[in-house]
Amino acid sequence: MTRNSKKVNVNLRFNSLTVIIYLIGIVLIVKLFSLQIVHGAEYREQSNTRLARESILEAARGAILDKTGVPLVTSKMGFSLEMYKSKVDTDTLNQDILNMIGVLEKYNISYVDSFPITIYPFEFKISDETLQKWKKSNNLDENITAEQAFYKFIDKYKIKNTNNIEEVRKIIAIRYELSEKGYSSTKSVTIAKDMPREAVAEFSESSEKFAGINIVVQPVREYTSGNLASHILGYASQINSEEYETRKNTYGQNDIIGKTGIEYVFEEYLKGKNGTKQIDMNVDGSTTAEYISEDAIAGSDIVLTIDANLQKVTEDALASNIQKIASGGFGKAYDAKAGACLVMNVNSGEILAMASYPDYNPADFVGGISQEAWNNYTNNEAKPLVDKAIQNSYSPGSTYKMVTAIAGLESGVINLNTTINDTGVYTKYRDYQPKCWYYTDYHRGHGYLNVSGAIEKSCNYFFYETSDRMGIDTLARFAKYFGLGSKTGVELQGETTGVVSSKESKQKLHNNESWSAGDTLQSAIGQYDNEFSPIQMARYISMLANGGHKIDPTIIKTIRNSDGTEVSKEEINKFVNNKLALEEDNSENMEINQENLDAVLEGMRSVTSDSGGTAYVRFKDFNISVGGKTGSAEAPGNKVHAWFVGFAPFENPEIAIVVMVENGGHGNYTAEVVRDIMEEYFGMNTQNVEEDMSATPYIQIVN
C-alpha cells in the first residue's frame, strides 16, 4: 500500500470518529433538553417526593432476674405510635392531635406529657430552680404565673378548635413534646408505647384523621410480677429533656432510660446498643424500600440475689401485719401505714428479700405516668415511692441494746458474771432520772440481771448503768463498727447514712450543745440521736450472728452480657461505687471475743424461747430455734416505731431478718412477719402441706 492510500484511510477513520462524537453530542443534548425542559417539572416533583428516613432499631433492654433465673422485668415487642411532621395547617394539626388523644384514652393508653403546668388549679410542677431555667428557655417573664404561662402556650400553638380547658391542655402537651424533641418529616417523636391491637386497627382504619402518625413495632418494658419488688427493680420511662441534654451522644430523644432502682443504677448495662434501619418512602407515606444498616445489640441481664418466692412471702407478710396492727388485731389499734422488712444471708451479705410498704406498680411509668396516678402516689402520706428499707432511718429502740452490751463487755466495764440490780428508777443524776419500762408498767424493777438476762428482759436500767460506766465515745465506736450510721453500699440509689448518737451528732444536730450524762443513758437504749435504716440494722444483726465479721450487703448476684459472658464482681463494684459516689469503708476493724458474743446471743435466744422473753408468745411453738430482739422506739408525733430483729437457726445462723413498722406500737407485734418468712425459707410450708396430704385418707374410686 502506498503512503497516499494510508493517509486516505486515516482521514476516513478520523472523519468517522468525528461523526460518532457529533451524533452522541446531539443525543445528549436532546436527552438533556427532555429532562430539563420537556419533563423537568415532572421529574423535579418526583425527586422531591422521594424521602429517606433513618429509623432507629431500638435494642431490647436487658432483663432483671431473681437468683434462680425467674424473670422479674423483661422486654416484649409492642406497638408504638410515632409522629412525623406533615404538610397540614395548624388548625388541622391541633384537631388531629385531639383525635389521636381520643383514641389513646379510649383504650387507656398512657402518652407523653412533660408539659410542666397543671390545671385545677394552675400550678408549675417543677422545682423553683428548674422553673426559672424553663421560663427563660421559653422566653417567658420570670414573674409570670402558671395560668398566664398556660395561655401564652395557647397563643403559641394557635389552639382555636376547642374551648374545653382539659382538651386544650392535652393538645399543648403533645405540641410541647413535638417542639422539645424537634420532630421533622424525617425525624419522629414517640407519643405512646405498648398499644393494644384494637387501637392500632383504629388508627390504621381512620388514618386520614391523624396527620403524620406512624406505627412501629418496638421493645416495651414489661414488669412481669406487678408490684413485686417494685422498690428494688425501680422503673424505666422515656428520657426527658434534661436527661437527654447530658446524653446526646448515646441516647435518642425517644429512648427509654432507667429512673429508679436497678433500672437506674445499671442503666449502662441494661440499655444495649440501638441499630438503624433505612426506609425509602414517597411523600404519600408509602414505603418503597427498607433495609437494616446496623443491627441492634440487646442489653445485659441483671441477676439479683433475691428469691422471688421469698420476696412475695415477705411483702405479703409485712402488708398483712401492718393492716392487722392498724385494725387493732393485737389489742389497741395504732395508726400504722408503712414499714419495711429485709432478709439477709448472715455470711455473704446477700439480700434474699427486701420489702417496703406500701409499694407501687412500675408499669404505671412505662409509657409516661398519668397525672391521676402520679397524684395518687405523691399525695399518699405513706409515701409509696420511697424505699423505706434503705432511704429512711428510724430510732432503733431496744434493738440497739446488743451494741451497748458488746461495747460494755469488750471495754471491760462489765463481764459475763456482772449483775446489775434494776430498782426501776435510775437515780444517779439529779437532773435526769429515767425509768425502766418494767417499772412504768408494773411499778417495780427487774432485780439483779446479768447481760444475757438484761437482753431477754430488755431491761433499760442495766443498759443505763453499763453505758454510764463506759461513756458515749466507746458506745459510738462499737456502733460504727457494726455499720450503723453509715451507708451499706447496697447497689441502689438514695441510701440514707443514718446517725450514730455521739458528741459529734449533738454538735451538728443540736446547735453545738455540750454532751450530758442523760444523753448517754438515752443513747444506750437506742434513742436520742440514734437513727438507722432497716438495711443497716440487717447488717448489724448479721454481724452479731456470724461471729462479728464485717459483711458488705449486696443485691447483685451477677451481670450476664448478651454474648454469654459475665461481668466480674470487681468491675461491678467499681461501677457501682462511681455511679453512686460511694466512699471506701475506712471504719475500724475489731476482733469481738466469741464468749462475749455468745452471752449476747444467748440473751437473744431467750427473747424467743423463754417464758419471760419479750417475743416468747410469738415463737413458743416454733420448730426453728431463733435469736431475736424486740424494740419499741419513741418517735416524733407521739408515735412508737415497732421493730423485731432476729436470726436463725440459732445453732448455725443462715439468715437475719429485720422488720420495722412505722407507729407499730410494740416490737413483738412485728414478730409474726418473721415467723412467716422463716417458714418459707426453711421449707416449713412445704412440710406442712406434705403432712396434710399424708393425713388425707386414700379413697378408691370404682367405676
Tens-place pLDDT, residues 22-51: 656 665 665 555 555 555 555 444 444 456
Reading the block at residue 574, the C-alpha cell is 467499681
Q: How many residues does the chain have?
A: 703
In a domain, 693, yes or no: no
pLDDT above 50 for 271: yes
Q: Answer yes or no: are the C-beta atoms of 276 and 293 closer than 8 Å.
A: yes
Considering the domain architecture, whether residues 339 and 410 belong to the same structural domain is answered as: yes
Instruction: Indicate whether 623 belongs to any domain.
Output: yes
Is the pLDDT at 285 greater than 60, yes or no?
A: no
Q: Quote the percentage of the chain above a pLDDT of 70.
A: 88
Task: Tell me how far apart the alpha carbons of residues 451 and 601 are, in angstroms, rounded to a whole number.
Answer: 10
Distance CA 227, CA 62 (A): 19
Amino acid at 320: S
Q: State whether 456 and 391 are in the same domain.
A: yes
Give the DSSP H/E element, type plus range, for residue 636: none
419 lies in the same domain as 520: yes
**Of 137, 157, 182, which residue constitutes the final position of a domain?**
182
User: Using CA atoms, how far apart are residues 193 and 195, in angstroms rounded to an integer?
Assistant: 6
Q: Report the distance separating Cα 679 and Cα 77, nearest Å.
A: 39
Q: Work out how many domains the chain is built from and give that number.
A: 4
Is the pTM here over 0.85, yes or no? no
Residues 296, 417 within the same domain: no
What's the CA gap between 359 and 228, in Å, rounded?
8
82-86, 658-662, 666-670, 693-697: least confidently modelled range: 693-697
HSE-up of residue 77 (Cα within 13 Å, Cβ side): 5
Domain for residue 331, yes or no?
yes
The DSSP letter of residue 185 is S
Using the predicted structure, report yes or no on whether residue 692 has a pLDDT greater than 50.
Answer: no
Could you tell me if 450 and 567 lie in one domain?
A: no
Q: 390 lies in which domain range?
A: 308-362+385-547+592-686
Distance, CA of 290 to chain centre:
39
Q: Is residue 341 part of a domain?
A: yes
> Do residues 552 and 416 lie in contact, with contact meaning Cβ atoms separated by under 8 Å?
no
Cα 102 to Cα 98, 203, 308, 368, 467: the distances in Å are 6, 11, 39, 17, 68
pLDDT of residue 156: 96
Residue 307 confidence (pLDDT) above 80: yes
Residue 374: the pLDDT is: 86
Q: Within 10 A of 70 (CB to CB), how many other CB atoms are there?
A: 15
Is the per-residue pLDDT at 219 higher than 50?
A: yes
pLDDT for res 694: 43
Task: Extract the C-alpha cell encoding 417.
Answer: 458474771
Q: How many CA atoms lie within 13 A of 284 on its CB side?
A: 4
- The dihedrals phi and psi of 143, each to the nearest 5 degrees, come to -100, 5
Q: What is the CATH number of the domain that holds 421?
A: 3.40.710.10
3-state SS, one letter per residue, for 178-189: HHHHCCCCCCCE
Q: How far apart are CA 28 and CA 17, in angstroms?
A: 17
Question: What per-residue confidence (pLDDT) applies to 220?
Answer: 86
Is 697 part of a structural domain of the chain?
no
Average pLDDT score, the chain:
89
Q: Given this model, what pLDDT does residue 697 score?
A: 35
Segment 233-239 mean pLDDT: 92
Q: Are 233 and 355 in contact (CB under 8 A)?
A: no
- Is residue 686 packed enough to be buried (19+ CB in 10 Å), middle (13-18) or exposed (0-12)? exposed
In a domain, 205, yes or no: no
Are 350 and 466 within one domain?
yes
The helix (run of H) or strand (run of E) holding residue 424 is none
- Assess whether 462 and 530 both reside in one domain: yes
Q: Are 426 and 571 contained in the same domain?
A: no
Give a yes or no: residue 376 inside a domain: no
pLDDT digits (tens, 9 = 90+) for 122-171: 999 888 888 998 999 999 999 999 999 999 999 999 999 899 999 999 99
Pair (274, 313) in one structural domain: no
Percent share of the chain, pLDDT over 90:
70
* Residue 512: φ, ψ to 5°: 60, 25
Instruction: Give the three-state DSSP class for 437.
Output: helix
Confidence of residue 10 (pLDDT cuts 50, 70, 90): very low
Same domain, 157 and 231: no
C-alpha cell, 387 = 424505699
Between CA 379 and CA 367 the distance in angstroms is: 21
CA distance 503 to 645: 27
Q: Is residue 245 part of a domain?
A: yes
> How high is the pLDDT of residue 127?
82
Distance in angstroms (rounded) separating the CA atoms of residues 126 and 360: 22
What grid cell was written down for 26? 446531539
DSSP E strands: which ranges in 388-473?
420-422, 447-449
**Are 420 and 538 within one domain?**
yes
CATH number of 56's domain? 3.90.1310.10
Q: What does the alpha-carbon distance between residue 296 and residue 277 come to, in Å, rounded to a whole number?
A: 10
Instruction: Count Cβ neighbours within 10 Å for each residue of 295-317 and write b for 16 or more, e otherwise.
Output: ebbbbbbbbbbbbbebbbbbbbb
CA 413 to chain centre: 45
Q: Where are the strands (E) in 423-482, listed by range?
A: 447-449
Same domain, 506 and 437: yes
